[in-house]
A and B are shown apart, each in its own frame.
Chain A
Amino acid sequence: DQQVKQNSPSLSVQEGRISILNCDYTNSMFDYFLWYKKYPAEGPTFLISISSIKDKNEDGRFTVFLNKSAKHLSLHIVPSQPGDSAVYFCAASGARTGANNLFFGTGTRLTVIP
């Protein structure tokens, strides 16, 4: 049962434009959401997170938006750069669920075209 879903396996964007990566979740008990970036042959790297008490969190070129009613979050990258080309994983956590782990989506491969 995939509780965190990333329905777009891949996304291509021109350099300088906005990249929008989407993520849906099914468990309303999740209260913390994270985005990780992964380059080939490396482990995932933490990028940005958001608590369920917020609807937006910004860090430089990266902004995460959370829509709790729709159980949807998105990662915006503006402007996109070729170095942003990687696989992006959405993850969710919920101490209230009693689970002590992160639930990951299957990832979206972002390609930024110079």
Chain B
Amino acid sequence: DSGVTQTPKHLITATGQRVTLRCSPRSGDLSVYWYQQSLDQGLQFLIQYYNGEERAKGNILERFSAQQFPDLHSELNLSSLELGDSALYFCASSLGTVPYEQYFGPGTRLTVT
């Protein structure tokens, strides 16, 4: 158990809809990272937050947004969903801003139909 929790585990929704994925980092970790893993692909970095502030952006679509709240949990919002957004979404956390060892949650599997 990494100490990182993600909800929900599975999500099935239709094209055009909007969903919110939630992540709680390990106790004491200030950084939260979001990754997308599509079929047979590596993990693609989406965005990082550190102590409530956006720190770095990766290949995140404009239809996607995220935030980190004062209690350090984070939410990833995906809107105007397309079939290609179906993927595993992982959240990871680390103590500081430098992304050395990151600890991953179990992921949310999103299926867009």
Residues of A within 8 A of B (CB): 2, 4, 6, 9, 32, 34, 36, 41-46, 49, 89, 93, 95, 99-107
Contact = CB atoms under 8 A, between A and B. Distances in A.
B42 A34 contact: no
Nearest to B56: A100
Interface in B29-83: 33, 35, 40-45, 48, 55-56, 58
A102 B45 contact: yes
Contacts, number: 64
Consensus secondary structure, chain B interface = loop
Interface of B: 2, 4, 6, 33, 35, 40-45, 48, 55-56, 58, 90, 92, 97-107
Contacts of B98: 93, 95, 100
10 nearest A-B pairs in the assembled complex, by CB-CB distance: A43-B104, A100-B56, A101-B45, A104-B42, A106-B42, A104-B43, A44-B104, A43-B106, A46-B101, A43-B105
